[in-house]
Amino acid sequence: MYKAPRVSSFRGNGLPAPPGMVYIPSGTIYYTASQDSAAEGRNVSVSAFFIDETEVSNKQYREFVNWVADSIAVTDYLQDDQYFLNQQGTGRTGSSPADSAVATETRQIDWKRVKANSPLWKSDDPAIREKLAPMISMESGRRSLNREVIKYHFSHIKMDGKNNDQYVTDTVAVIPDEGIWSKDFPNAQMSSMDANYFEHESFDYNPVVGVTWKQARAYADWRGKELMAQMQKNGYLKGYQLTFSLPTEAQWQYAAEGKLDPADTIQKTRLTINDRKSHKKKLAVNFKQGEGTYSRDGATFTVPVKSYTPNAFGVYNMAGNVSEWTLDAFSPSAIAFVNDLNPVLLYDADDNANYMLKRKVVRGGSWKDNGPMLNSDTRSYEEQDEPHSYVGFRCVMSAFEMTTPQVKTRRYK
């Protein structure tokens, strides 16, 4: 017997967004492929999606690093029964080392118990510290995670123009390059930023930097799985399988323009707002105002991810603060290859590939860029394995379109 599908009913023009995200309805942008935003282009359409309302913060990214570290600590070094769920059919660890290894691989981690003691690598228990010694390195006189050990594995379809239907597994060292400030600015005093920016709580809500394109993709994979697991239990999207990734540059541009009215032309970034108290114009974007002028916007480097005013979609800092990785490979002629619906240019370059093949699109300008770089349609790029102190990222998740008043059934007249 046929049963009508169960559909969640929502009012208005948007779906309730997952925590920390906003709903972006479908729309159209003027898409150019050149670095010059004035170059010839064409209209393309983007279907509905969710996007992070802010750039990923240091605190959020540390949660990812600690999750990876806890996973490795439990499965590779501690192998303690208390951190595993006692699954039916697997029992406890076997009587021989081989049996133990097999059992450990097939058993699930009890994350409720692990999180109660997380991060395990910071434990004061001498026995735990001894077992986890291979995970630790000493940097600048302090205990830190060994970046060669803390790696995340995720699978995806490799897009290289040849084998676009084969799954591959990437193994990515997830710890950001904390010394990136001095590397980017070797003739400036940046040692205090190197030592504090990622770890110190005073920078918790600043955007994470020093992450490569692959590290950003690894975080998006992890966060998508965490979010979908939560929604399968009690979310309104229960039963759906939704993709989670870096935004395509078309998605990024559309979200940045904040066009609530489809008839709007391209929106240029508003650099100032009118202050209600002083009745004067104040800078509302974190960028370089001129040669040697960084602080008139209220900060010299990055600012917390919810600084200033969100755009019409409710998204913060799509211009300035940090430039942001997108999913797309960079090509000056990308417009010739991509579709006019949900366009994206995918290319997974090997680590030893030519540098031109490793270029990925970044958007939005940063705290160290001048005004023209902040426009929503200005394109730039960085190599996928080159982190910087001025490049961060945010994530997107696929969504379903809401029926608009335009398609409402009407009487013909």
CATH number at residue 173: 3.90.1580.10
Answer yes or no: is 13 within a domain. no
Query: What number is the average pLDDT over the span 254-266?
Result: 74
Is 10 among the domain residues?
Answer: no
pLDDT at 107: 79
Q: Which range (25-29, 274-278, 297-301) has the least confidence?
A: 274-278
Position 342 scores a pLDDT of 95
For 344-372, how does the pLDDT look when each residue is reduced to its tens digit (9 = 90+)?
999 999 999 999 999 999 999 999 999 88
Q: How confident is the model at residue 93 (pLDDT cuts 50, 70, 90)?
A: very low
Contacts of 192 (CB under 8 A, 6+ apart): none
pLDDT at 193 over 70: yes
Write the pLDDT tens digit of every residue in 239-251: 778 889 999 999 9
Q: Report the domain count for the chain.
A: 1
Dump strand ranges (E) for 17-78: 21-24, 27-32, 41-46, 49-52
* 259 in any annotated domain: yes
**Of 183-197, 223-237, 276-290, 383-397, which range is least confident?**
276-290
Between 408 and 363, the more confident residue is 363
- Tell whether the torsion through CA atoms of 223, 225, 226 and 230 is positive or negative: positive
Question: Does the pLDDT at position 315 exceed 80?
Answer: yes
The DSSP-derived string for 92-158 is SS-SSHHHHHHHHHHSPB-HHHHHHT--GGG---HHHHHHTGGGEEEETTEEEE-TTT-EEEEEEE-
Going through 230-378 in order, the beta strands assigned E by DSSP cover 244-245, 272-274, 281-283, 323-329, 359-363
**What is the tens place of the pLDDT at every residue in 156-182?**
999 987 777 789 999 999 999 999 999
285 pLDDT more than 60: yes
Does the pLDDT value for residue 89 go beyond 60?
no
- pTM (predicted TM-score): 0.89
Q: In 3-state terms, what secondary structure has residue 29?
A: strand
Whether residue 298 lies inside any domain: the answer is yes
Angstrom distance (rounded) from CA 25 to CA 261: 11
Q: What is the pLDDT of residue 262?
A: 58
Task: Supply the range of the domain harboring residue 301.
Answer: 21-405
* The pLDDT value given to residue 56: 98
Residue 390 has pLDDT above 50, yes or no: yes
Residue 413 maps to a domain: no
pLDDT digits (tens, 9 = 90+) for 41-83: 889 999 999 999 999 999 999 999 999 999 999 999 999 999 9
pLDDT number for residue 336 = 84
- Let me know if residue 195 belongs to a domain: yes
Portion of the chain with pLDDT greater than 70, in percent: 84
Per-residue pLDDT reduced to its tens digit, 115-172: 999 999 999 999 999 999 999 998 777 889 999 999 999 999 999 877 777 899 999 9
Query: Average pLDDT for residues 198-217, to the nearest whole number?
Result: 98
What order of strands is seen across the sheet that includes strand 244-245? 21-24, 49-52, 396-398, 244-245
For residue 237, the model assigns a pLDDT of 75
**Residue length, the chain?**
413
How far, in Å, CA of 61 to CA of 174, rounded?
A: 9
Q: What is the pLDDT of residue 307?
A: 95
Residue 89 lies in a domain: yes
Q: Where are the beta strands (DSSP E) in 281-398?
A: 281-283, 323-329, 359-363, 379-383, 391-392, 396-398
